[in-house]
Amino acid sequence: MVSEGEEAPDFTLEADDGREVSLSDYRGKSVVLYFYPKDGTPGCTREAIEFRDIVDELEKEDAVVLGVSKDSIKSHQRFKQKHNLPFTLLSDPEGKVLELYGVWKEKSMYGRTFMGVERTTFLINENGDVKKIYRKVKVEGHAQACLLDLQS
């Protein structure tokens, strides 16, 4: 389990544009690393749109947004195009990074349990250390909260 104050584990995943992206590629910048359950679902769409709408302000803080889910590259491409998302989406189909960051959890809905992504965001500073972790994220206002924490 990743904790605040420790170095964020590095990883490499395929991005929506087909290139391989490593977390370490962003050393020297702050990273908003957010894990979400599924492209196109209502909560995930609202979350992505909130980040999209403040991406210019995040860039002023020298921060980049990286979204991670188990969805395929094709799914990411459709989601990104449909909602005009100006940040990178990473595909983790085997769930290795989800496990590494401790966001692959047992969940329950309508009386049944299943494994799924717990909506979680990690703010990572320019040195690669975890500045803040938001677990069980409530979507509304979350992107703005991340921006305020980056500014502090």
Cα separation, 44 vs 114, in Å, equals: 18
- Catalytic residue flag (residue 44): yes
Cα separation, 92 vs 96, in Å, equals: 7
The enclosing H or E element of 100 equals helix 96-100
Task: List the catalytic residue out of 23, 44, 66, 103.
Answer: 44
3-state secondary structure (DSSP) of residue 106: strand
pLDDT band at 8 (very low <50, low <70, confident <90, very high): very high
pLDDT at 120: 97
pLDDT at 72: 97
Task: Please check the confidence at residue 108 and state whether its pLDDT lies above 90.
Answer: no
pLDDT at 109: 80
* Helix 73-83, helix 42-53: angle, nearest 10: 60
pLDDT tens digits along 77-106: 999 999 999 999 999 999 999 999 999 998
pLDDT tens digits along 32-59: 999 999 999 999 999 999 999 999 999 9
What mean pLDDT, rounded, does the chain reach? 96
> Whole-structure pTM over 0.85, yes or no?
yes
pLDDT at 147: 97
- How confident is the model over 93-121, as a mean pLDDT? 93
Place of tokens 């302000």: 57
CB 71 within 8 A of CB 49: no
- How confident is the model over 123-146, as a mean pLDDT? 96
**Domains delineated in the chain:** 12-151 (3.40.30.10)
